[in-house]
Structure 1
Amino acid sequence: MNAATKPPIGRDTTLCMSLAARPGNFGSRFHNRLYDRLGLDYVYKAFTTDDLEGAVRGLRALGVRGCAISMPFKEAVIPLLDGLAGSAAAIDSVNTIVNDDGRLTGYNTDYSAVRDLLDRARVDTALPFTLRGSGGMAKAVAAALRDRGHRTGTIVARNEGAGRALAASYGFSWRAEVGDGAALLVNATPIGMSGGDEQALAFPHAAIKACRVAFEVVALPAETPFLRDARAAGKTTIAGADVAVLQALEQFILYTGARPGDDDVAHAAAFARGEID
């Protein structure tokens, strides 16, 4: 299908949205381009808020079909929902809300995206890892690593309470600083993210040089200092931009019930990254 088959926005158009402290354009561009290509009467808009409870009430009151949830709301939103799907309940973190006639259910599509990318890269489960972060995204990564069979890992988090709790939940260790790193490095913090300190390295140069696999969860910019350093050192890399595509695709399917073809997904991803018009 092409854009001409999509109905004009009107009173029957279905609204989907996102909530984040730092809204970006990727989700809006990805979802809206797929709506265009599949001829769906939907529209997607990114928002931020200082009133999470009020925003969630708005989802219910206005019949918003779906809402992506990003930092720092992935855990705080849980008490405001009517229920959790298995993925979200298992890791106590939500990145997706689906509204079924006023009933709001939380999902976590980060988990499946992370696990799928680790599988595609054939990352050896015997590799010890260092995971930096203790928030909602770090929970999804820790769960995916544990469920793939990774047994030796360290959670690095300056917040001792959150770091120790996350490590204990999945049978890993905790420390406050990166130290020597590990064979598999994963950044699940905002370090290097657009809108923050984009020049900061999530891991020291020495740790990156010594690792075998570098997994960057930050999606914007597509090339963070951590990824640049790892690629320059010839390491296997997994990019946050790929996490963003896979988790957004699963959200799209949850919201619309439509499953786009591979060509449509690739086109929408390239458009969302600004690679095509």
Structure 2
Amino acid sequence: MTRRISKDTVLCMSLSGRPGNFGTRFQNHLYEALELDFIYKAFTTRDLPAAIGGVRALSIRGCAVSMPFKEACIPLLDGLAPSAEAIQSVNTVVNTDGVLIGHNTDYGAVRELLQRHGVSPDTPFAARGSGGMGKAVVSALRDAGFRDGIVVARNERTGRALAEVCGYRWQPELGEARPAMLVNITPVGMAGGREAEELAFPAEAIEASRVCFDVVALPVETPLIRAARAAGKTVITGGEVVVLQAVQQFILYTGVTPDAGRIAEAAAAALG
């Protein structure tokens, strides 16, 4: 069936420093499958205030927010949902009659995946990264009851601040630490980046770990995930994170909850 776009079609979008196709494919697949009069398009911008102003002025229903805009967009919004307020990081903006509210669906996705994979809160971890996604992941670990953690970040200001607010230690490098779970929250391993072929953690640390979690979704099989699989470790992929958080965005935008079959089809279409 050919989709018809009219004056009544609802626009949703994303803002990212390096736009990808996942959200566009995932959301549009569900819109079409469920016969919803919505359309989704990815954008980047060099003028964030103007872009957020456009969301408000043009009645754009929803806007996914990725690096480097997750924190910078907050002063431009009218309020924050509890998921974003608690960690001061936004990955989703919902526009209701010109009122823009920030949410964070990454946070909930991470907590759900830790539970799905049976990762005990007693597991010591090191999380590399302290940006907007870093806040969501480390806060999710804290709130899931993980007590023994290291925030690894070269930026001392953001790394130390995140570690202190969540009750963990900060280190600029992993060093000799060999925690049972390694979590990459940086662009290391991301397709098209300068570090696309690099491991987010040393091979020795991967070998000593039990769980490797990489939030990078493109590709799903990052160098870290490939190395961890080869070593027989439990892996949690960025593909899993991005699907779960995208489902929550879809629900926020449309008010419709797709069933598991529809979600699996959309994920296959978007990640394939």
TM-score using structure 1 length: 0.96
Any idea what SS the aligned residue of 1:155 has?
strand
Q: Residue 190 of structure 1 corresponds to which residue in structure 2? A: 187
Q: After superposition, what is the alpha-carbon deviation per residue over 1:172-219, rounded to whole angstroms, capped at 9, x for unaligned?
A: 000000123310100000111112021011000000000000001000
Structure 1 position 7, deviation (Å): 5.3
Q: Residue 218 of structure 1 corresponds to which residue in structure 2? A: 216
CA distance in 2, matches of 1:51, 1:7: 31
CA distance in 2, matches of 1:52, 1:181: 40
Q: Residue 27 of structure 2 corresponds to which residue in structure 1? A: 31
Which consecutive unaligned segments of at least 5 residues does structure 1 have? none
Q: Residue 68 of structure 1 corresponds to which residue in structure 2? A: 64
CA distance in 2, matches of 1:181, 1:67: 39
Q: After superposition, what is the alpha-carbon deviation per residue over 1:221-267, rounded to whole angstroms, capped at 9, x for unaligned?
A: 11100000000000000000000000000000000001111110000
CA distance in 1, matches of 2:29, 2:178: 40
CA distance in 2, matches of 1:184, 1:96: 28
Q: Residue 130 of structure 2 corresponds to which residue in structure 1? A: 134
Q: Residue 199 of structure 2 corresponds to which residue in structure 1? A: 201
Any idea what SS the aligned residue of 2:199 has?
coil
1:87 aligns with 2:79: no
Any idea what SS the aligned residue of 2:86 has?
helix
Q: How well do the aligned residues superpose, as a CA RMSD in angstroms?
A: 0.8
Q: Give the counterpart letter for 2:244 in structure 1.
A: L
CA distance in 1, matches of 2:131, 2:232: 29
Divergent runs of 4+, >6 A: none
Any idea what SS the aligned residue of 1:144 has?
helix
Q: After superposition, what is the alpha-carbon deviation per residue over 1:68-115, rounded to whole angstroms, capped at 9, x for unaligned?
A: 000010000000000000000000000000000000000000000000
- Report matched runs for 1:15-26 at 5 Å: 15-26=11-22
Any idea what SS the aligned residue of 2:33 has?
helix
CA 1:50–1:166 in structure 2 vs 1: closer, same or farther (change >3 Å)?
same
1:145 aligns with 2:141: yes
8 Å contact from structure 2 (residues 3, 32) kept in 1: no
Q: Residue 107 of structure 2 corresponds to which residue in structure 1? A: 111
CA distance in 1, matches of 2:115, 2:135: 18
Q: Give the counterpart letter for 1:169 in structure 2.
A: V
8 Å contact from structure 1 (residues 7, 40) kept in 2: no
Q: Residue 55 of structure 1 corresponds to which residue in structure 2? A: 51
- Report matched runs for 1:161-172 at 5 Å: 161-172=157-168
Any idea what SS the aligned residue of 1:91 has?
coil
Any idea what SS the aligned residue of 2:19 has?
coil
Identity in percent: 62
CA distance in 2, matches of 1:147, 1:8: 44
8 Å contact from structure 1 (residues 203, 226) kept in 2: yes
Q: Give the counterpart letter for 1:115 in structure 2.
A: R
Q: Residue 261 of structure 1 corresponds to which residue in structure 2? A: 259
8 Å contact from structure 1 (residues 31, 44) kept in 2: yes
Which consecutive unaligned segments of at least 5 residues does structure 2 have? none
Q: Give the counterpart letter for 1:183 in structure 2.
A: A
CA distance in 2, matches of 1:28, 1:156: 32
8 Å contact from structure 1 (residues 22, 195) kept in 2: no
Q: Give the counterpart letter for 1:223 in structure 2.
A: E
8 Å contact from structure 2 (residues 150, 171) kept in 1: yes
1:158 aligns with 2:177: no
